[in-house]
Structure 1
Amino acid sequence: MIRNFVRVNLVALGLLVGPATAEESFIVVQSTTSTQNSGLLDYILPGFEAETGIDVRVVAVGTGQAIRNAVNGDGDVLLVHSKQAEDQFVADGWGVERFDVMYNDFVLVGPKSDPAKVKGSTDIVAALTAVWDTQTPFASRGDDSGTHKAEMQHWQATGIDPTNASGEWYRETGSGMGATLNVASGMDAYVMTDRATWLSFGNRGNLEVLVERDPRLFNQYGVILVSPEKHPGVRSAAGQRFIDWLTGPDGQTAIESYKLDGQQLFFPNAK
C-alpha cells in the first residue's frame, strides 16, 4: 500500500515520466485499481525487478483514465481490463500490440436482506432489472473504469438507463473500486465489483456475493506497450521486457500462485 502510494504521488509530481535513458532502469505502468487493491502487483513485481534490475512504477487508476494517460504519453506499458477499449487503443496507433495476461470475473454484491431477491441468480441482466424494479440503492463507480464499462454494458442489455435515476437510488461515486465498495457497504447498496477486489476488501458490512457465474461476467486483462512512434520517450526495450516476463512462464506462474485465504484471485491465460 505504501509502495503504491509513493509511486502514484511521484508520478503526480512529474518525477517518474521523462525521457528514456540508455539504461532504461525503470518503467511506468498505467494499470487499474483492481491490480492495486487486490495486492497482485505488490506480490509479483519484486520477482521481475530482482531478475531484471528494472523498477516498475505503477499508476493505479480506472481503465479509462489509464488509457487516457497512456495516450498522453504518461507511461510505457498499459495493463488494464476492457478489451474493446484496448483494441481501439492499438487500432488508433497508441499501442504496439495487445496480449492477454490473466482473467477473473465480476460479481454482483448486495445486502444480505436482498430486497431485489436476486441471490443465487446466474443472470446479471435479470438481476439488474430486478434492482431497477425495486428501486433498491445501487452504487456505481461512474468513472469510466473497466468495471464501470462492464456494468454499463449489462445495464444496456436490460434496456434501462440507470443514470436517469442518478443521485436518487442510483449513486455514482466517481471513485475506485475500494471506495465504491465502502459507499455500498454504508448504504446497504448493490454494486458490481471484480472478484479479486471483493476478496481483499475488509469493510463488507452487510454485503455478500449475490450474483455470480454468468459467462457475461468474465473479466479479461490485457497488456500493451505504448507506441514509441507516437511517444519517442517510451522506454520500449524495458517495457517489452516486462511484457515478455508477464506473459511468459515466470510471470504467469507468479500470477497463478497469488492467493488470499487460499483463494486464487487471478488466472493466467497468456497465449
Structure 2
Amino acid sequence: MRKPGPRALFAAIALAVTGGVQAGGGSITLASTTSTEASGLFDHLVPKFREATGIHVRVVAVGTGQAFEIGRRGDADVLLVHDTAAEEAFVGDGYAAERRHVMSNDFVLVGPADDPADVASADSALDAFRRIADGAHPFTSRGDDSGTHRAERNLWQDAGIQPRGRWYRELGSGMGGTLNTAAAMDAYTYADRATWTAFGNRQNLTLLFDGDDVMFNPYGSLLLDADRHPHVKHDKARRWHEWLLSDEGQEAIASFRVRGQQLFFPNDATPPEP
C-alpha cells in the first residue's frame, strides 16, 4: 500500500484534531451586556476560552434587564451582567444557582466640552446630576433597563430628582447609540468607562466627572439553576463560569486594553484612582 505523503498526513491529523475539538467542545450561549460587547472584551476573551476548552461562546449582547429575561426563560446557558442587587435577587428567586463576582470597572459622566452645567466642578456624582437638572441641560439616557440605565436611575433617585421634560431624552438604545445621540445633541450622558474609551464618534463630548465611589461598576457571572432549566448546557456553562474566575481567565480580563488603557479589573482588584 502506498503511504500517504506529508501533506495528506498533515491534513488527516488536522481533520482529526479539529473534529475532536468540535465533537468534544460544542457551544454555549452567553447573555451579556452591550458594554462588554461594544468594548471588544469578548473578542479578546472568547478565543482564549475556546483555545483552552474547545467550547465556542455565542454572545447575545443586550441590556442587563433583557439578559435577566433571557435567563428566566432559559434561552441562554449563562449570564454576565452588572446589577449586583438584581443578580442576588435572581439567585434568591431560584433562577440561578450561583452568582460570582468576576470583574469591575466604573461609570463616567460625559458631556459637551464647554460644560454649561459645570459638572466638572461638582463635589459628587449627585451634585453633578443636580446641576444638570437645575439648568435643564440636555441629557440622553439609555432608557433600556440596562445595568447602566439602572445605575443612572438610582443616582437621580438619590439626588431627589424625577427627571422629566424636554431636556431629558430616554432613547431605548444601547450605550453606543446613546453616546452618538449625546454627541449630536451636545448633551450629557452616563456611560460605562469601557464603552466610552472605545467610542470613536466623540465630536465635542469629553469626560467631565468620574471617581465617586457610587460610580463603581461590578460585573457578575450567573449560572442558571439546573432544576428550573434542565435543558441548559450546565456543564459547559460552568466551565466558562469557572474559567472566568481562574488565574487564566482573570489574567485575560486584566490584559484587555483599548487605546492602551485597562478597561476591566479582576475580581480581587479595584479600578485605580482616576
The 3-state SS of whatever aligns with 1:127 is helix
Q: Which amino acid aligns with 2:64?
A: T
What is the distance in 2 between the residues matched to 1:92 and 1:120? Answer: 42
Q: Which amino acid aligns with 2:187?
A: A
**1:76-128: CA deviations, max 9, x gaps?**
10100000111111000000110000000000000011110111435110000
Which residue matches 1:96?
A: 97
Which residue matches 1:11?
A: none
What is the distance in 2 between the residues matched to 1:63 and 1:202? Answer: 23
Deviation at residue 72 of structure 1 after TM alignment: 0.6
Which residue matches 2:54?
A: 53
Which residue matches 1:66?
A: 67
Report whether the alignment pairs 1:255 with 2:253: yes
TM-score by length of 1: 0.89
Q: Which amino acid aligns with 2:209?
A: V
Which residue matches 1:182?
A: 180
Alignment partner of 1:269 out of 260, 267, 270:
267
Q: Which amino acid aligns with 1:246?
A: L
The 3-state SS of whatever aligns with 2:111 is strand
Which residue matches 1:235?
A: 233
CA contact (8 A) 2:25 2:56 kept: no
The 3-state SS of whatever aligns with 1:119 is helix
What is the distance in 1 between the residues matched to 2:124 and 2:268? Answer: 28
Q: Any stretches of 5+ residues in structure 1 without a counterpart?
A: 1-21
After superposition, where does 1:102-113 map in structure 2 within 5 Å? Answer: 102-113=103-114
Which residue matches 1:42?
A: 43
Which residue matches 1:31?
A: 32
Alignment partner of 2:205 out of 204, 207, 221:
207
CA contact (8 A) 1:101 1:268 kept: yes
Report whether the alignment pairs 1:117 with 2:118: yes
Deviation at residue 25 of structure 1 after TM alignment: 1.0
Which residue matches 2:76?
A: 75
Q: Any stretches of 5+ residues in structure 2 without a counterpart?
A: 1-22, 270-274
CA RMSD across the alignment: 1.3
Q: Please, which moves more after superposition, 23-32 or 196-205? A: 23-32
The 3-state SS of whatever aligns with 1:254 is helix
TM-score by length of 2: 0.88
Q: Which has the larger radius of gyration?
A: 2
The 3-state SS of whatever aligns with 2:120 is coil
Report whether the alignment pairs 1:133 with 2:116: no
What is the distance in 2 between the residues matched to 1:270 and 1:248? Answer: 12
Deviation at residue 23 of structure 1 after TM alignment: 5.2
The 3-state SS of whatever aligns with 1:191 is strand
Which residue matches 2:214?
A: 216
Structure 1 residues 41 and 122, CA, compared in 2 at 3 Å: closer, same or farther? farther
The 3-state SS of whatever aligns with 1:205 is coil
CA contact (8 A) 2:144 2:172 kept: yes
Deviation at residue 270 of structure 1 after TM alignment: 5.4
CA contact (8 A) 1:108 1:190 kept: yes
The 3-state SS of whatever aligns with 2:80 is strand
* Equivalenced residues, count: 247
CA contact (8 A) 1:248 1:270 kept: no
What is the distance in 1 between the residues matched to 2:246 and 2:198? Answer: 26
What is the distance in 2 between the residues matched to 1:53 and 1:121? Answer: 49
What is the distance in 1 between the residues matched to 2:45 and 2:121? Answer: 34
What is the distance in 2 between the residues matched to 1:122 and 1:191? Answer: 18
Q: Which amino acid aligns with 1:177?
A: M
